Chains A and B, each alone.
Chain A
């Protein structure tokens, strides 16, 4: 079965604090993993993908195959980071995305 679990519905932090949004996945093969973000009144958009191994807006995510995790991290949260974050996997050879239920990040001043 293909499943993505985001255990936190809401994560509330203060500006400048570190952030870690958790994502665990279940898939027998080697999936592609993504983080999508939806800012208020905006469309769902790609934040980063594991094969790119890049940092976007200060966010990074490392794939841990042993723990089947793909946690999203940022060392110093900004108020503009407040948004809904979705972790997703794409099974090998397919374009479909399997999304988690999302985590709302709220960064307070």
Chain B
């Protein structure tokens, strides 16, 4: 198993543009979560999806949106990019949707906004 895979690994955008990040969970995992990690900080929760439904949302503006597909893969979209959106975006998957399930993280997508 390749683990949690994310694409792209690196990307550069300019202010005002839009970006889509993709995540494929471990086979059999039905829950996907997204985290933003700014340099020097711990990861910050953005979204959780389980069985294609949003289960949780962190304190992020409406410019951030996500969805989960029937095959349990997920996309994170960020509109109207700001310089402060520059960060490592981590995807994590788990078998179930509850807090008892251990998260497995991907390597991340590093977004630079110029």
Chain A contact residues, CB within 8 Å of chain B: 4, 32, 43-46, 49, 51, 86, 88, 90-102
Contact = CB atoms under 8 A, between A and B. Distances in A.
Contacts of A98: 45
Contact of A95 (B33, B41, B106): B33
A29 to B, nearest CB: 11
Interface of B: 3, 31, 33, 35, 40-45, 48, 50, 55-56, 58, 90, 94, 97-108
Given A92-B99, A96-B48, A96-B56, 6 more contacts: A44-B105, A46-B102, A88-B42, A95-B56, A97-B35, A97-B43
B44 A99 contact: yes
Nearest to A101: B42
Contacts of A46: 102-103
B107 A43 contact: yes
B58 to A, nearest CB: 7
A101 B94 CA distance: 23
A96 B103 CA distance: 10
A65 B99 CA distance: 19
Taking each of A32, A49, A96, which has the highest tally of chain B beta carbons within 10 Å of its own beta carbon?
Answer: A96
Nearest to A46: B102
A66 B55 CA distance: 31
Contact of B45 (A86, A96, A100, A101): A96
Nearest to A44: B105
A90 B105 contact: no
A24 to B, nearest CB: 14
